């Protein structure tokens, strides 16, 4: 599903250059649930943003679902992003003046999906995250965990090939974090490929594989026995 080879990324600031990714190689197969772990500043978000086509690498190759991701103009990149990828962020990134349902439906609007189908899909995915009854509520009326579930429904509604989550539990308490991980595990059980960036060991252990980033390289890449979040909620 994802193949990256010898990926490099530096940030230039004035006369200084910060070499953040120093040759990353890794592949992700369909159906995997991968944690990308590392301390703050280790380049996790940089890597995820490149995988999410929100940023580009300086060197190296990236193939997503057999499509080489290279030299794409902004329009093409946006098309691929919509088609292939769903994003989940630490801060939820919901639109405050839109209801849960409208938030889930919005990306579909930009993809040219009809109004009727948008509504059907938004309700379907809100139902899958257990929030059917909250469809007409605003984000301000939802708890942090509920907001993240709306964001997950929004990411799922476009039926992406890969879900990318950057610290999805970073703004949540432990119990709520485990509830969100339980949902992420359920979505993965259904065959969806998911990458989760985290600096929390307990969250990483709920994935099936942990990729440890350190000093710009992959220090360790291990398949693990998954801890089920349901044991904690």
Binding footprint of ligand ADP on the chain (CB under 6 A): 11, 13, 18, 20, 38, 40-46
Cβ 45 to Mg ion, closest distance in Å? 3
CB neighbour class for 211 (10 Å; exposed up to 12, middle 13-18, buried from 19):
buried
Shortest distance (Å) from residue 220 CB to ligand ADP: 16
The entry of ligand ADP, Mg ion, none near residue 176 (CB within 5 to 8 angstroms by kind) is: none
User: Should residue 158 be labelled a site residue for Mg ion when binding is judged by CB under 5 A?
Assistant: no
* Residues 131 and 146: beta-carbon distance below 8 Å: yes
Q: Which is nearer to ligand ADP, 45 or 146 (CB)?
A: 45
Q: Which is nearer to Mg ion, 50 or 105 (CB)?
A: 50
Stretch that binds Mg ion, among 39-47, 76-84, 144-152, 220-228 (CB under 5 A): 39-47
Q: Confirm if 210 and 203 have CB atoms less than 8 A apart.
A: no
Distance CA 101, CA 66 (A): 33
192 binding partner (options Mg ion, ligand ADP, none; Cβ < 5 to 8 Å by kind): none
Alpha helices by DSSP H, listed for the chain, are 44-51, 74-84, 100-110, 115-128, 144-157, 174-189, 201-204
């Amino acid at each position: 599903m994802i193949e990256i080879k010898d990926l490099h990324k530096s940030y230039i600031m004035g006369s200084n250059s910060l070499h953040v990714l120093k040759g990353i190689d890794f592949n992700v197969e369909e159906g995997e649930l991968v944690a990308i772990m590392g301390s703050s500043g280790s380049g996790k978000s940089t890597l995820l943003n490149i995988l999410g086509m929100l940023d580009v690498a300086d060197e190296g190759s990236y193939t997503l679902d057999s499509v080489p991701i290279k030299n794409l103009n902004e329009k093409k990149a946006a098309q691929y992003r919509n088609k292939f990828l769903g994003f989940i962020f630490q801060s939820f990134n919901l639109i405050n003046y839109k209801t849960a349902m409208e938030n889930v439906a919005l990306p579909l609007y930009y993809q040219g999906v009809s109004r009727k189908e948008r509504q059907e899909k938004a309700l379907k995915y809100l139902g899958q995250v257990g929030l059917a009854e909250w469809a007409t509520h605003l984000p301000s009326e939802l708890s942090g965990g509920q907001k993240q579930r709306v964001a997950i429904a929004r990411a799922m509604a476009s039926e992406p090939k890969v879900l990318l989550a950057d610290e999805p539990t970073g703004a949540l308490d432990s119990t709520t974090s485990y509830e969100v991980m339980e949902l992420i595990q359920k979505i993965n059980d259904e065959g969806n490929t998911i990458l989760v960036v985290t600096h929390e060991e307990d969250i990483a252990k709920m994935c099936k594989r942990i990729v440890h980033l350190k000093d710009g390289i992959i220090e360790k890449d291990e398949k693990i026995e998954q801890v089920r979040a349901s044991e904690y909620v």
